[in-house]
Copies of this chain bind each other. A is one copy, B any other.
């Protein structure tokens, strides 16, 4: 059985891996807010346990076993977030920190129950996919709003790097998942977008915001 600490390393590694499949010690240490030597020695430990592939001066990679374990932790996190929102009435901006703790609970029945009560959800309240019981994630094919063109109509499908403040910002303008957005205008010099959706006819979203919003194009 892995400790909370080890689980946090696996999860961070999994999340950082997802673009390149490889992660530097430096990156991981920044993510976890730990010093490099700390991370370095934990990587050796996880390599012993066959969870990570570690070679001196090479980037880090998760083994299949490591990916599976990380996936299961992320599954627990996202099921919990969904449960807190759907069954307990929390807002999507409130659930991350709680799920961060509950994800480490050793009680498969608990998460199985959440899954059942929620009707086997496939995404969490922020639109991120929930890995299956084997930790396998089904990748979704979303596009950044910032990569869309003027005149397109798209559906808001997920938000990335969802901090408290950002989610409250979205709440404030009723930007909930599922909302259909029409891109009225893009300012070419700074990437600011003017969009309309629901009852709002002309909301302005900075490029920074548009880069954090993932949308579905084939409507």
Contacts and interface: CB of A to CB of B under 8 A. Distances in A.
Interface of A is mostly: helix
A86 to B, nearest CB: 12
A91 to B, nearest CB: 10
Nearest to A99: B107
B107 A98 contact: yes
A84 to B, nearest CB: 8
A190 interface: no
Nearest to A87: B87
Contact of A98 (B87, B88, B110, B117): B110
Contacts of A202: none
Count identical subunits in the complex: 2
Given A94-B109, A109-B94, A88 B101 contact: no
Contact of A90 (B84, B90, B113): B113
A98 to B, nearest CB: 5
Contacts of A90: 109, 113
B109 A105 contact: no
9 contacts: A84-B110, A87-B87, A88-B113, A89-B113, A89-B117, A94-B109, A98-B105, A98-B110, A101-B107
Interface string A105-118: 11101100110010
Interface residues of A, number: 18
A97 interface: yes
A102 interface: yes
Contacts of A113: 88-90
Nearest to A117: B88
Contacts of A98: 105, 107, 109-110
A101 B108 CA distance: 13
Contacts of A114: 88
Interface in A107-137: 107, 109-110, 113-114, 117
Closest 4 CB pairs of A and B: A98-B107, A101-B105, A88-B113, A98-B110
